[in-house]
Chains A and B, each alone.
Chain A
Amino acid sequence: MVDNELMSKLLELDSAPGNEVHVAKFLLTQYKPLADEIVYDNLGSIYAVRRSKQVNAAHVMVSGHMDEPGLILKSFNENGTLNALILGELAEPALLGTAIRFNVAGHHIQGTLLSLTEKPNAVSNKQTVLVDCGFTSQEAAENSGLTIGAHATFAQAPVMGEQRVIAKNWDGRFAPLVGLALLEAVKDEQLDFDLYVGCTVQETVGLRGVQTATNVVEPDLGIVIDTDAAFDYQDDARDKIGVLGAGLLVNFYDKTVLPNRMLIQELKAICTQNNIPYQYYYSMAGSDAAWINKLRTGTPTLFINAAVRNLGTPSQVIDLNDIAAVQQALIAFIHQLTPAKIAAYKAENR
């Protein structure tokens, strides 16, 4: 179900917030043969569009983010170390000694994070970290090609297990992977609505790209594909939710969006009809869906998500069966979608 080759390629790319260009370029080459048209917003969000033959067709937006948490170079120190600022939410305990890499003109400059103090402490109260790339002087660092404003991400290589895959960027690569599976599945089909499948930028720094993308797409229906924290292994979890391998997440509540109730019913019905495993989930984290839902005159919005352990760390764990469940449900949902249903979702809460 999951395209292993595509998955490997996506997981190796670096995509710090504000510098998602490597993923965007890769997606452009993948989208082109599957789309009638490619559209961008002015921050870099990208969508493959499948046009219908209907006049004034409804717009369906299938979207998730392609940025991963990262660092941005702030200044050089005399001894050759670097100061960098955290972009997005990184789990502090995962940072000290972790491998990171700058991506400069297509080649990597590897480094690690040092402690700021004698006691182990990788992050200052101003969200700054100290980076050691092995330079012996400020001059050596400056001559390496690194410039102020260069972006870095975690450097860990993916670990491809039979069932579980560990990677630095599931939060940021899940949506590109699932979106491509959808485009591939519907490539020979005529749809009764315009389908926009793509990825936003700058989600992890404050749900930014989704605002501009929504104004470009002008959706009538939104489906967000995202990752949520798994709470299936911690001793102190309040509720055991987001169980890896137990199926896609039916998010009935998110701090920033209340998913349309008729859409949730439809998703559950599709899962039941097709024997796709699902589990209930609620999230206190917030997501791109917030703005798709509340911009313009409002858009009924649904999540089709998967659980991930260790979000914000270089080793994020996902279960391949959960990805398969998300893909299968999303494809089935799009197959069963009609303009009349889109109108009904809009009218659901009247």
Chain B
Amino acid sequence: MVEFNEIDLNILRRVSEADGIGGCEREVSRIVTEYGTPLVDEIIHDNLGSTIMHKKGRGNGPKIMFSAHMDEVGFEVRGITDSGYIKLLPVGGWWGHVMPAHEMTVTTENGDKYIGVIGARAPHGLPPEEKNKVISPLDLFLDMGVHSKKQISDLGIQIGDMITPNTKFRVMNDGDTLCGKAWDDRCNLGVELELLRNLAGESLAADIYCAATVQEEVGIRGARTATHTIQPDLAIALDVTTATDTPLDTAGMTLGGGVVLSVVDNLTLGNPALINMLKDIAQEYGLGIRCDFMTDGGTDACNIHKMLKGVVAVTASLPTRYMHSSRLMISRTDYEQTIKMLTAFCRRIDWAQVNAMKAASGILA
């Protein structure tokens, strides 16, 4: 038996290039379902579109939930001007700084795709106060290269249609850095699928539920409905965290140093015994591991851990450069190490371990 499979970069490429903002994750969930179906016993859903891959255990084991969200930050068509420009409504957090001159894809109700470019001003003759100002996303617009409202409507584009970056997946020049859109949080859909590939055919004590959730970027909604559907005993939210290893950010969260465990984020305190178990596994397999203490931001874990009667939980993240833009970068090393750590975790988690984690919270009977 191979302990860990060679990763399949096609999975990452396909989930990255699929288009799916909050409430419109269908393209992504169909890719997840396509890869996941042969690897698990059943695929279940909540009523908002979260897709949950269930690998059954030997029976009566703890329910372990992994959560990665399918939605990316993007826009909806907010309005169409008489000249055929599209006004943008951000869905998820955008900064005007990273938008102008980027290509975007409009997806119509029928699934037709049209590419436009976010318009910007030429710098020529602009006063310094204009040049130094960041333009609000609500004031930017998509130029479809047409000249009238009618031309837009002839394409089938309507108000409310989805807009996402048009970015192709690319392996960068060191062979390890992976560039693409939507790594937040699609890279962790890859982690879930690679995890299930590693576990395929194995008999485990625990029931493994890999959830691909909806609507994280707009208020962590799918994590609620998926948690209700699964009713887990333990959950690991898989997300991304801000890398700070560029000339602009020098706090030292590097790409390539291994998985990042959130001891604390703005909305969740990680279970200490669960964190220790993951650290032990990392040490055993020689994997890098970092601890994160964030004072803003949150992940699916924020809602999962306090739902139902409470769920033992932590967030494991991949450091990511250029979050909430058209092009993000992650490290293949971090990706592979996360998959290895979680594979080993699934092979060893059982009721004794889960009860020890509850005991770490003072639950002793």
Contacts and interface: CB of A to CB of B under 8 A. Distances in A.
A253 B76 CA distance: 9
Interface stretch (A24-32, A43-51, A341-349): A341-349
Interface residues of A, number: 27
A350 B23 contact: no
Max chain B C-beta neighbours (<10 A), residue from A264, A280, A282, A297: A297
Contact of A239 (B79, B222, B225): B79
Nearest to B303: A294
Interface string A111-150: 0000000000000000000000000000000000000000
A253 to B, nearest CB: 6
B164 to A, nearest CB: 15
Contacts of A107: none
Given A261-B160, A294-B48, 15 more contacts: A239-B79, A252-B76, A253-B160, A258-B215, A265-B109, A294-B221, A297-B228, A298-B47, A298-B48, A298-B224, A298-B228, A349-B26, A349-B214, A350-B29, A350-B30
Interface in A233-256: 238-239, 252-253, 256
B131 to A, nearest CB: 23
Interface string A319-350: 00000000000000000000000000011111
Contacts of B76: 252-253, 282
A349 B89 contact: no
Interface residues of B, number: 35
A200 B282 CA distance: 51
A349 B160 contact: no
A282 B47 contact: no
Max chain A C-beta neighbours (<10 A), residue from B46, B51, B138: B46
Given A238-B138, A258-B218, A280-B160, A298 B225 contact: yes
Contact of A253 (B47, B91, B221, B228): B91
Contacts of A264: 160
Nearest first, the 7 A-B pairs at minimum CB distance are A349-B49, A258-B23, A252-B160, A298-B225, A298-B47, A298-B48, A280-B159
Contacts of A280: 159-160
A293 interface: yes
25 contacts: A239-B78, A239-B79, A252-B160, A253-B89, A253-B91, A259-B23, A260-B23, A261-B109, A261-B160, A265-B109, A282-B76, A282-B78, A294-B48, A294-B221, A297-B228, A298-B48, A298-B50, A298-B221, A300-B48, A346-B47, A347-B45, A349-B26, A350-B29, A350-B45, A350-B51
A239 B160 CA distance: 15
Interface in A270-322: 280, 282, 293-300
A297 B213 CA distance: 12
Given A252-B160, A264-B160, A297-B47, A349 B25 contact: yes
B87 interface: yes
A294 B214 CA distance: 11
A294 B160 contact: no
Nearest to B225: A298
A239 B87 contact: yes
Interface string B189-225: 0000000000000000000000000110011011011
A182 B284 CA distance: 65
Interface in B219-275: 219, 221-222, 224-225, 228-229
Contacts of A294: 48, 219, 221, 224-225
B24 interface: yes
Contacts of B22: 258
B225 to A, nearest CB: 3
Contacts of A256: 219
B71 to A, nearest CB: 10
Nearest to B215: A258
Contacts of B229: 297
A296 B215 CA distance: 15
A108 B170 CA distance: 71
Nearest to A221: B47
B348 to A, nearest CB: 30
Contact of A348 (B46, B49, B78, B228): B49
Interface in B77-94: 78-79, 87, 89, 91
Contacts of B87: 239
A280 B50 CA distance: 27
Contacts of A350: 26, 29-30, 33, 45, 49, 51
A293 B215 CA distance: 11
